[in-house]
Chains A and B, each alone.
Chain A
Amino acid sequence: DVKVTQSSRYLVKRTGEKVFLECVQDMDHENMFWYRQDPGLGLRLIYFSYDVKMKEKGDIPEGYSVSREKKERFSLILESASTNQTSMYLCASRPHLGLGGEQYFGPGTRLTVT
């Protein structure tokens, strides 16, 4: 079974703090993704990575950065957390199989910024 794990299920941070969200997958997938999920908006892509040390902006990258130093790990960084970044964050991975390959999701991290 593919397993995608996220470092925390729930996280509470203060405004201005630097926040790290970690995602690890155990299936040697090339592609990894970070989404945020908000009610009524579905999932929106923040950043994605096709392979180690590669990263591309998604639809809402402002206020976020990412790091992929190893194939299995993809980190999302909030340089200075703000209250409007309170959300559910979902990580996903996918083998590089062409367009029909499904994405496998982690359980999510619910981040609250106070």
Chain B
Amino acid sequence: AQSVTQLGSHVSVSEGALVLLRCNYSSSVPPYLFWYVQYPNQGLQLLLKYTSAATLVKGINGFEAEFKKSETSFHLTKPSAHMSDAAEYFCAVTLYNQGGKLIFGQGTELSVKP
């Protein structure tokens, strides 16, 4: 069965520091992977997605993620955190044999300290 695990329900960084949010997946076939962001009192917005093209994927707001098949990981990074990055971040994987349904990780709340 496919699943997604996000390590760390809360991550806190200082403004200007590196952001690293971890996501590991389990899948018996090459997956499609997504990172979504949810700002307070809003719905989810797509940050980036991996669909078997380049393994390093660039998204909006300076975020990027690298697909590593050997590590079954798709970690999200940003070189320099900004206060406006404070939000909840969700990693998700497509269910390959069920027509586009998504399985979400439990989410990681990112806090950015001034």
| Interface residues of B, dominant DSSP | loop
Given contacts A31-B100, A40-B9, contact A102 B46 (CB under 8 A): yes
Residues of B within 8 A of A50 (CB): 99
Residues of B within 8 A of A104 (CB): 46
Contact A108 B42 (CB under 8 A): yes
Could you tell me the distance between the alpha carbons of A108 and B99 in the complex, rounded to whole angstroms?
Answer: 24
Residues of B28-80 whose CB lies within 8 A of A:
32, 34, 36, 41-46, 49, 51
Q: Is residue B113 within 8 Å, beta carbon to beta carbon, of the partner chain?
A: no
Q: For chains A and B in complex, what number of residue pairs have CB atoms within 8 angstroms?
A: 59
- A13-21, A64-72, A77-85, A93-101 - interface stretch: A93-101
B88 to chain A, nearest CB (A): 9
Residues of B within 8 A of A58 (CB): 101
Among A9, A41, A43, A108, chain B packs the most CB atoms within 10 A around the CB of A43
Contact B96 A99 (CB under 8 A): yes
A interface residues, tally (CB under 8 Å)? 28
Contact B101 A48 (CB under 8 A): yes
Interfacial residues, chain B to chain A (CB-CB below 8 A):
9, 32, 34, 36, 41-46, 49, 51, 90, 94, 96, 99-102, 104-107
Query: Can you list 23 A-B contacts (CB < 8 A)?
Result: A4-B43, A40-B107, A42-B90, A42-B104, A42-B105, A42-B107, A43-B90, A43-B104, A44-B104, A50-B99, A58-B101, A90-B43, A90-B44, A92-B44, A98-B100, A100-B32, A100-B51, A105-B36, A105-B43, A105-B44, A106-B43, A107-B42, A107-B43
